[in-house]
Amino acid sequence: MAVVLAHGPTLKLKKFRKQLLIGTALIVGIGTIALLAWLLYLDRIVTKQFEGRRWTLPAQVYAEPLELYAGQAFGADTLEAELQRLGYQSVDNPQRAGSYRRRGERIDLMSRRFQFWDSLQESQLISVTGAGSTITALTDQRGSEVPIFRLDPLLIGSIFPLHGEDRVVVAPDAVPPLLPAALKVAEDRKFDTHHGINVLAIVRAAIANVRAGQIEQGGSTLTQQLVKSYFLDNRRTFGRKIEEACMAMLLEVHFEKQDLLNAYINEIYLGQDGGRAIHGFGLAAQFYFGKPLAELQLHEIALLVTIVRGPSYYDPRRHPERARARRDRILKLMADFQVIDAKVARQAAAKPLGIVNGGSNKGGYYPAFLDLVRRTLQRDYREADLTEAGLKIFSTLNPLIQSRAESALEQELARLEKARKKKVPQKLEGVVVVTAPQNGEVIAMVGGRQANYAGFNRALDAKRSIGSLVKPVIFLAAVESGKFNAASIVEDAPVEVRLANGKLWKPQNITKEFAGPVPLVRALSQSLNLATVNLGLAVGLPQVTQKFKALGLKQEPPQLPSVLLGSLDVAPIDVAQLFNAFANGGFNTPLRAVRSVLDGAGKPLKSFALEVTPVADTAAVFQVNQMLVQVMERGTGRGARAQLPSGLVVAGKSGTSSDYRDSWFAGFSGSHLGVVWIGYDNNTPTGLTGASGALTVWSRLMSGIATTSWSAPQPETLQPVTIEYASGLVARPECGEDVITIAVPQGAQLPVKPQCESGLRGWWDRLVH
């Protein structure tokens, strides 16, 4: 009995131990299975998502390439400035792509290899010789004459998705050898030998984190950093660090070190440009230095590697001293680990940071114009294609004219505000749109005072009252009716119109005075309101409003008398479309911002063909355009003559909305059309007329670009006559006052000034009969 009693507890203990072992084994087994399942899940994610390494590739948008040829009005100073805009480096011997040498009026440049929409252009040495402001010779390295040469176009931006991630993917052969070496020295010296994690670095970081009670050091290898950027979010937890380490080891199992390093170079986050996240060294090279990654020098490479550690903390624009100190430490480390010579490191450390001012604007980031490009492409492409498929978009933007437009707007707005006696809390805003009338290409667009700010695009979306910009359309409808010509007399006298609501509409001239009977040419050039209203009513409101639609306005205006004085809200881009028909001689060419599109492999997808449609009688347009020339000579646009080159013939019209809320000017030369708007965003009065505000911006812009005089062949149905500008009477200079020459229809009966009748009556009768 005693033996049985002694054995009972032992049996129970053995049974408990057995159950414990079985339970433990079961738990370990389940845990192992769960761990294996989790690792298999991570392995599947790693291999499936990373194997193809398909990044989201936003469409890259390029400006119009600069074409050089002998005889071109393009001086050495201007060419050098454009080369610098493209990121070309000034050197003693230009043997590397993206470099140039200037000696007086001669510039030797080594171009970049570039795939245009129609051909691949290899890198080559080109010599450009000039005299003053003209190119006199263009030769290749053999001294042979080159008829025309295209420089690689400026990358002006990307069409990136809503999450803002942007990158320029670079192939391994486009990566400077010093970049991987610098990354290893600064971020992961055991990269070539570890299997995804560095145990010693992790232990060292873990000790620091335990002491701090939170995650402060990562001890991450380059592979772990790649995992964090490519697969994971930004949470800093122990669980996430374990997941990161496991995925890093799995990556190392499946892929070669070189593949991982190239992926890192294209993936890592390196800064922020407003709503655009800068990913990869390819885009970072453009963002910080305005040139391709392959052309970076040692001190520039070291600075990009500096930014890896903390894009915000080491932002070279916000914290230049902090960024430079770390850059120099990286250069010293590269020398210590014999990646570079110590002397070379010291020379690189002596160089400035070398970043371009204004972030992406040096490389050419123009949000307003890119917005137009995006809207244009959305008619033919899915959003995913534009933001992910790596398309190449060749646009119509002219960087030089864009720069001049931005400068003209900012300088004139600042001058106008400084000249104000009464200071106001808000700042004036403005828009500039420049087109090439013959082909409808939008070559510059400034959507606001802060040209590089991707906010409200006033050029496309700010619909404001256009005031007297409506008058050329009214005068065109009048001339087309056959009842009027440039010399016809119209009364600038009071007029009253009973509206549908019973109210009486009584318009006024801006001066509150009346000019009486005046010829159409004077009525338009002096922007006489009452003469315009009387003319429009005589023609008929339906004929006037229909002409707006014919000339390119998207919607026909309401048939209301107030439309005759500009009670019509139109966006600046639509004003440009309207006036493009005048500048193009009565032909409508839809405005366009894109020339061609290539797919990710460089194959053409779509070209945007030129469309030309006749929308107005050419003889009538010719007469109105001659009146618009008189606007610039004798009317509201004459103030521009002080800035414009002598002899340059231009045509244009000012516009002022009621209470001086909007200041407009639209005008054209032989090769450029410019539209300018100035006003406040809250629509309060500016105190500016079109002539005192917008015209000054237009004049500064047109005087700063190479443009040609407006001219057009006179239609055979017209004949030139000389009349007095004030009265419209036929006269000669010796017997009339302020005589001008205009074109009127053949056979038109015009009154002759009495003092000139003896010499002109017989001549005039013979001319009209």
pLDDT of res. 55 = 57
Do 196 and 257 belong to one domain?
yes
Count of beta carbons in the 10 Å neighbourhood of residue 181:
16
Do 533 and 598 belong to one domain?
yes
Which residue, 663, 712, 655, is CA-closest to 686? 663
Q: What is the mean pLDDT of the chain?
A: 86
Do 121 and 175 belong to one domain?
no
Distances (CA, A) of 592 to 72, 111, 163: 25, 28, 28
Q: Last residue of some domain: 704, 729, 755?
A: 704
3 state DSSP class of 136: strand
Do 45 and 65 belong to one domain?
no
Do 667 and 741 belong to one domain?
no
Of 608 and 501, more confident:
501
Predicted confidence (pLDDT) per residue in 653-701, tens digit: 999 999 999 999 999 999 999 999 999 999 999 999 999 999 999 999 9
Distances (CA, A) of 245 to 39, 239, 309: 11, 10, 19
Do 234 and 307 belong to one domain?
yes
pLDDT of res. 50 = 64
The lowest-confidence range among 124-128, 166-170, 587-591 is: 166-170
Does residue 390 sit within a domain? no
Count of beta carbons in the 10 Å neighbourhood of residue 26:
10
Which residue, 72, 80, 228, 68, is CA-closest to 150? 68
Residue 360: pLDDT band by 50, 70, 90 thresholds? very low
Predicted confidence (pLDDT) per residue in 613-642, tens digit: 999 999 999 999 999 999 999 999 999 999
DSSP letter string, 443-512: EEEE-SSSTT--S--HHHH--EE-GGGGHHHHHHHHHHTTS--TT-EEEE----EE-TTSPEE----TTS
The lowest-confidence range among 105-114, 239-248, 310-319, 715-724 is: 239-248
Predicted confidence (pLDDT) per residue in 544-557, tens digit: 999 999 999 999 99
Residue 112: pLDDT band by 50, 70, 90 thresholds? very high
Q: Give burial (CB, 10 Å; 0-12/13-18/19+) of 562.
A: middle
- CA dihedral (645, 647, 649, 653) positive or negative: positive
CA distance 656 to 685: 11
Residue 4: pLDDT band by 50, 70, 90 thresholds? very low
Do 278 and 320 belong to one domain?
yes
Domain of 488, CATH number, reads 3.40.710.10
Does residue 135 sit within a domain? yes
Query: 81 near 90, Cβ under 8 Å?
Result: no
DSSP letter string, 19-69: HHHHHHHHHHHHHHHHHHHHHHHHHHHHHHHHHS----BPEEEE-PPPEE-
Do 268 and 333 belong to one domain?
yes
Task: State how many domains the chain has.
Answer: 5
Do 585 and 609 belong to one domain?
yes
Q: Which DSSP letter does residue 295 get?
A: G
Does residue 672 sit within a domain? yes
Residue 396: pLDDT band by 50, 70, 90 thresholds? very high
- Say yes or no to pLDDT of 3 above 50: no
- CA dihedral (126, 127, 131, 136) positive or negative: negative
The lowest-confidence range among 77-86, 378-387, 459-468 is: 378-387
Can you give the three-state secondary structure of 166-234, one letter per residue?
EECCCCHHHCCCHHHHHHHHHHCCCCCCCCCCCHHHHHHHHHHHHHHCCCCCCCCCHHHHHHHHHCCCC
Does residue 1 sit within a domain? no
Q: Last residue of some domain: 156, 181, 204?
A: 156
Does residue 143 sit within a domain? yes
Do 140 and 204 belong to one domain?
no
- Say yes or no to pLDDT of 253 above 80: no
Does residue 122 sit within a domain? yes
Does residue 269 sit within a domain? yes
pLDDT of res. 345 = 93
The conformational region for residue 308 under phi > 0 = left, psi -120 to 50 = alpha, else beta, is alpha
- Domain range holding 49? 12-53
Do 546 and 579 belong to one domain?
yes
Do 655 and 762 belong to one domain?
no
Does residue 148 sit within a domain? yes
The DSSP bridge partners found for residue 662 are 679
Q: Which DSSP letter does residue 88 get?
A: P
Predicted confidence (pLDDT) per residue in 55-101, tens digit: 566 778 899 999 999 999 888 999 999 999 898 989 999 998 999 99
Active site positions, annotated: 187, 468
Question: Percent of the chain at pLDDT above 90?
Answer: 57
pLDDT of res. 216 = 45
Domain of 177, CATH number, reads 1.10.3810.10
Q: Last residue of some domain: 291, 323, 349?
A: 349
